[in-house]
A and B are shown apart, each in its own frame.
Chain A
Amino acid sequence: MKKSGFLVALGTALVLATGLGQAMGSQSDIVVGMVLEPPNLDPTAGAAAAIDEVVYANVFEGLTRFSSNGAIIPGLAKSWEISEDGLTYTFNLNTGVKFHDGTDMDALDVKFSLERAMAEDSTNAQKALFADIVSVEARDPATVVITLSRPNGSFLFNMAWGDAVIVAPESAATNGTNPIGTGPFRFVDWAQGDKVVLARNPDYWGEPVALENVTFKFISDPSAAFAAMMAQDVDAFPNFPASETLPQFEADPRFKVIVGVTEGETILSTNNQSPPLDDVRVRHAIAHAINRQEIIDGAMSGYGTPIGTHFNPSNPDYLDLTEQSDYDPDKARALLAEAGVSDLTLRMKLPPPPYARRGGEIIAAQLRAVGIDTEISNLEWAQWLEEVFGAKDYDLTIVSHTEPFDIGIYARDDYYFNYDSKEMQAIIAELNETADPEARTALLHKAQRRIADDYVNGYLFQLAKIGVANARINGLWENSPTQANDMTGVSWAE
């Protein structure tokens, strides 16, 4: 008894000592936890979200950028003019912008970056963003004129992606290991398998940042992430992997829990050409067999917003169509009977994230209740990409589509849903050529209705962004308009 009392006293003393040490040490450093390590640090040469989670807005900047609420705001371009016909964009660049290696950023770098992304041999993962560009002209060092082949209402939005950041010709080839951008933080060190360290850029052209050093630490194991937060080895974990432990953080005054929305529409993707799923009545039946709230509670500890179509509920153009596919097992059974389907067994192939693995078990039980059996197989990401996404060898799968504003994938007839609708393709084609906001809203509503009426997929919920942070940290993004850990506005409270 005495001994344990001593241990507790010693422990308390150590806690106090480390606490004091932290309070007295610099409060301009932050350690941010991330689940996945980026494979490289070049956002223009890879799709991994972890790349942008380190470098977006921190190290690299584009002509435009996402703000925390998802709006498009000026980046390296301080303003722009769009021609009447919507084909010519004239960007006025900020002046006095330097890359971290000391060279100047001017219109020629913009021309280089965009042409590099568009090129034949480009390995940019989002080449489609640049597909409409015909030419990029550097009129003078501070002015870039971009000509498009057809009007594109989302061009400014496209230019805000991490894949469209501006890089320098001198450093473009080595950005994967030594990123040289224009951002408020410069790259210091990458201890592979462990952490990436950034430091404040003293020559930053814009408003200086509050933080001195930012360390991104890679912790993939959920229980290790929990321990690292609790031990305060990590100051913030913007995408916290152990959602079941959140009540402990909520109850602890040292921490705050930040819940926001992401761009992740989590859907029960359905192979629209695998019989009998090619019958809309069967897909309709599946939609009514699903109880969304049960999945959100069971798989996501209650975090997530139900959706009835493939669109972000926090977007002003969102239509709430959840009623159309509400939970109604009787209707599901009736629809199955009408379609003449019985003894149905579907192959459900699940990728690794908990929303898919846990959600899959729950959906399997819900489908069984209306008479559909499922055969679940758990795949790794690489296998999933090959079998499901590539070879389309599946009936059902669950995946979160985290790219922002991606309803356009329903117009790709070779996409893994195997959904080929001329009507939907016409809507998206029209949308791409429409710049007028009201007309765009009308078209977006039409598109959302179209895919809901066709019951292309089971629309489940919008993935929540669940973050945990030290209670004294301000300025972390609540929502996730793009996958990024923007540290530019982050500071410690006194």
Chain B
Amino acid sequence: MAEVTLRTVSKSFGATKALVDVGLTVPDGAFVVLLGPTGAGKTTLLRMVSGLDRPDQGAVLIGGTSMQGLTPAQRNVAMVFQQYSLYPHLTVRENMEFPLKSPLLRTKPAEIARKVGEVAEILQISHKLDNKATALSGGEMQRVSIGRALVRNPAVYLMDEPLSSLDAKLRADLRVELKNIQANLGATFLYVTHDQIEAMTMATHVGVLDQGRLIQFGPPREIYENPVSLHAASRLGQPRINVLPADLFGPAPAKATHIGLRPEQIRQGAGQDAVVKRVEHLGDQTRLHLTFKSHDLITVTSAHTDLKRDDIVQITPHRPFYFDAEGTRIA
């Protein structure tokens, strides 16, 4: 396991700037989640670290050593691809054995069998080991792909949306399993996802990418509680942060154009009147869709609320975020 450092890494594909001056350190044993919309450069960043693509500028270091000119094999990275990339002519078992059979490793057959069996157990694919890789569902293929990485002991695990094709229950199970594996092995993970629950539950650090730039990097709570920009603020939080005109509730700091309110930043029971438009009972909480001065906003309330459509709720902002016209946080 090792620390991974990116220094002012830039990469363009033709006219498209995939990464711009990205600097980032993944501490040894950290679980770093990269968040960002499609096209933000998350996958490109993984490919830079893996060595499948080379940066136009900047350097990638693993364990303090420059990876300049080294192949993925020399870097000793394990990668889970978004499109699975299984070996279609091999069985599930053979797919998972493939990296262990590398002549570089000289793993004993008994050790290979033990390792594959163990990982298959965790990923709940033991009963599929002798199936052909192409005779699986999307979720199963994705788990085989994760398994092919987990059997190894690389410098860093790189995972590109590894849980995206799984059903909700399996996804929740594997979130816990992956986190356990990472914690037990002290492994370094660089993990790409759209899913903010994965980011909040698994990450020791979150990197928020937008249009090829790393706009914030830190522990997930810090990004949630202290976002540097509107974009970073809107990546985390369910329901999403409400963004409204800055002066909607009263005087705002100079230059502020927007006010950002997470559900817990909206105090209920005092302040100005808002009308309930919809009540969604989710079990452990209830979501309220409100209309306030002809703006829509969403907040949460207690699970057993008696509120219903067209009721009036008094709301007031509590320590809100303010953003300027560029989306930069100013208060």
A and B assemble together: no
The chain A residues found within 8 Å of chain B, CB to CB, are none
The chain B residues found within 8 Å of chain A, CB to CB, are none
